[in-house]
Structure 1
């Protein structure tokens, strides 16, 4: 259900569980974290999904069994944030709940027009993963972060782009092509130059 492929300096990680809206189990999250850790020196890292939903967050049965508060979420987002190259979340559809962490840890987020964003921790009674609120606030500001986390608002792709959560909206058939195109200058550069600019831009 997690596909991790390497083509030279490009790593592509795909959540492939369209029949369950990309819902994540403990095993899937561990695989994602391992992929990101193995790709630590990649120049281009693309995170995507299949079907009409990127990820609905934690599988509900697994969440009730304790996955919602498992440290594996932070392990995954930390591994993505630590990548030395350019990381791009190529969102094929809606992002919900704990799935926010991995996309917030990416450098760029591109999305298809139908994408929606929501993080219903207030309604479900869970706290968000510790690194998610500060990353979200850094991107869109504290008030808008509270719109998502506290007011439980579903944000459309257009609204997310106007807020700064999404960097570009693209047609579904151009999603991966756009992600690869955005990475071309990075792939052509020396690895030390790539990592240097990554450090300088935070």
Structure 2
């Protein structure tokens, strides 16, 4: 189905593996096109409750963009490429179903940007993060300057991007860039277990939480008003009735996403 991805659906979680290990899973235009299709599948397939994005092999999640594609680009073509990448990554960020990055190795440049577009990140102890674009006379173009600042703050973001340093997983955890650091052989099972916990919650409420958090980062949206509206919409759902009744009856809720 995809030229550069492997996919597998297990217990409601759609595992998306970027499969270019010989190229350190670098993002090229084909990978971006395949990712767009895979994210569309997450949105449209009712059997998918969540997704994990990871990289093939032991070395890299995504070790940047395919630099060979940059050499012939004009400024206009560069803008088009950045626009395309940002649209795809924003669609990941806006997904009403959780999409989690399981970072198994190098997450550099576009790879770091992809991981940051996901709703949260679980990292292998071997993972390393960075935005080294200044080494190439470039800057991040797929939202990296914005999301890195949101996640770790202005000072640390500027330092990391200007030095082009790589951030080890433990330091990424202390800086707030990742949520968890785990042993390499437990990365996927740990991430899947987290998502199984989320699967037990009300799907519409899960999606609404994601929308509200994203609204907090949108300068054009009154996040508090957005939250009031989203809160009120919950009262029109069968899931709220089921959740409240289950709580009162001291039993597990059986949510249907209605």
TM-score of the superposed pair, with normalisation by structure 2: 0.73
Give unmatched runs, 5+ long, in structure 1: none
* 1:114 and 2:131 aligned: no
Please name the residue that 1:162 is paired with: 174
* 1:6 and 2:9 aligned: yes
Residues in 2 aligned to 1:179 and 1:65: alpha-carbon distance in whole angstroms: 39
Say which SS state the counterpart of residue 140 (structure 2) adopts: coil
* 1:88 and 2:100 aligned: yes
1:46 to 40, 52, 61: 52
Question: What is the correspondence of 1:124-135 to structure 2 with a 5 Å cutoff?
Answer: 124-129=136-141, 131-135=143-147
CA contact (8 A) 2:61 2:103 kept: yes
CA contact (8 A) 1:76 1:102 kept: no
* 1:77 and 2:89 aligned: yes
1:64 to 60, 71, 85: 71
Residue by residue, what CA displacement relative to the aligned partner does 1:86-105 show, whole Å, maximum 9, x if unpaired?
A: 22100110111112221111
Once the two structures are TM-superposed, the CA of residue 68 in structure 1 deviates from its matched residue by: 6.2
2:38 to 35, 38, 44: 35
Please name the residue that 1:140 is paired with: 152
Indicate the structure (1 or 2) with the bigger Cα radius of gyration. Answer: 2
Residues in 2 aligned to 1:98 and 1:39: alpha-carbon distance in whole angstroms: 21
CA contact (8 A) 1:85 1:186 kept: no
TM-score of the superposed pair, with normalisation by structure 1: 0.91
Once the two structures are TM-superposed, the CA of residue 136 in structure 1 deviates from its matched residue by: 0.8
Once the two structures are TM-superposed, the CA of residue 130 in structure 1 deviates from its matched residue by: 5.5
Once the two structures are TM-superposed, the CA of residue 191 in structure 1 deviates from its matched residue by: 1.9
RMSD of aligned residue pairs (Cα, Å): 1.8
Say which SS state the counterpart of residue 87 (structure 2) adopts: helix
Residues in 1 aligned to 2:187 and 2:52: alpha-carbon distance in whole angstroms: 11
Once the two structures are TM-superposed, the CA of residue 28 in structure 1 deviates from its matched residue by: 1.2
Once the two structures are TM-superposed, the CA of residue 155 in structure 1 deviates from its matched residue by: 0.9
The number of aligned residues is: 202
Highest RCO, 1 vs 2 (Cα 8 Å, sep ≥ 6): 1
Residues in 2 aligned to 1:198 and 1:33: alpha-carbon distance in whole angstroms: 19
1:25 to 12, 25, 28: 28
Q: Whose helix proportion is higher, 1 or 2?
A: 2
Give unmatched runs, 5+ long, in structure 2: 215-258
